[in-house]
Chains A and B, each alone.
Chain A
Amino acid sequence: MNPLALDIFLFFLKLSLLAVGGANAAVPEMHREVVEIRGWMSDATFSQGYALASAAPGPNVLFVAVIGWHVAGWQGLVASILGFIGPTFILAWGVAMLTQRLAGDARLAALRAGLVPVAVGLILATGLVTAAAAARGTGAEMAVAAAITLGSAIFVWRSSFSPIWTLAAGGVIGLFLLR
């Protein structure tokens, strides 16, 4: 086994349980360690990998696979995913078991219900932050970007059609009106 793959595994294992708030919350720490301390990746490669992982479909956490692959090939890819996902899988499993066992408990019910508004509020925040980041370019382009975002939000809110249509439409409008 590639010794770097073991390093990768241990690094992501250490980071895994600290990543409260998802992989995005841990990205600054990944950058510090992977680019600044260990010099495994250049700043440019790190940024490009992050941009690709954000633009690609699926959970952004797969960015760790890009890091693992760059550092130690396919072994590094597997090591990074197992190291980063493994501990959170076990913890989520344990919590699910606990909540199922305490299913009738009124305090647990209140806790679960109480986290709902925060969860929905944070989804809205994610949308607003990414909308602000996507509203870039000239004044006209910012207006187009905001119009795509608004139209897409209303479409998803009010209709039951798949959001894939609004994503495709957004891409095609971007092709002609954005850069």
Chain B
Amino acid sequence: MPKNSAPPDEPPLNPPPGPAALFAAFAKAGLMGFGGAQIWVRRAVVEERRWLTERDYAEVLGLGQVLPGPNVGNAAVMIGRRFAGLRGSFAATGGLYAGPLVVLMSLVLLWQEFADDARVAAFMHGLACAAAGMVIGTAFRMAGRLRPPPELVAIGLLATLAAALFRVPLPVIVLVLGPVSVAAVVWRGGRA
């Protein structure tokens, strides 16, 4: 299968973006990025702009997770490079961090003004619940579109259990389940 082609049941991908379009997409994902910017980056590049297939994005994110640093930041570097080289990486990374940094520093400077406001706390509590649901829903959405075979579903759920229930450190999860998962992919004939 050629690298950049969409699965037959998905509409074709859009042409590769330049640095300006990358900056705009990642800036929007960063500014909207409540509850984890990776959810919003995925929405931007897979569903809205159609630059990457679900599988391409999941693979980039998987690599980004193994590397040190924020996985969404690593994904921005890799996606930016893929479409527009070094300028693309800088554009995606700059977009991802610049907007949220302004928002965060404004919050830090203004916080004393509304730290004790119960309405702000209540709104943020409700928003945190919805953001958690958004992250759960995205995991289901990705799994549904990737249609993994049962053994890979089991490995994914094991990763979930290890991280959420047993609080196993992430490097351990990746080092133990990663090779098992790769072996399962090879056994199945090379594709996840």
Contacts and interface: CB of A to CB of B under 8 A. Distances in A.
A56 to B, nearest CB: 4
B125 to A, nearest CB: 5
Interface string A67-96: 001000000010001001101110111011
Contact of B58 (A111, A119, A171): A119
Contact of A116 (B40, B130, B146, B171): B146
A121 B158 contact: yes
B157 A171 contact: no
B133 A116 contact: no
A167 interface: yes
B47 A160 contact: yes
A115 B73 contact: no
The dominant DSSP class at the B interface is: helix
The dominant DSSP class at the A interface is: helix
> What is the size category of the interface that chain A forms with chain B?
35 or more
A96 B157 CA distance: 28
A96 B119 CA distance: 45
A118 B155 contact: yes
Contacts of B89: 89, 93, 96
Interface of A: 16-23, 25, 48-49, 52-53, 55-62, 65-66, 69, 77, 81, 84-85, 87-89, 91-93, 95-97, 99-100, 103, 106, 109-137, 145-146, 148-158, 160, 162-164, 166-167, 169-179
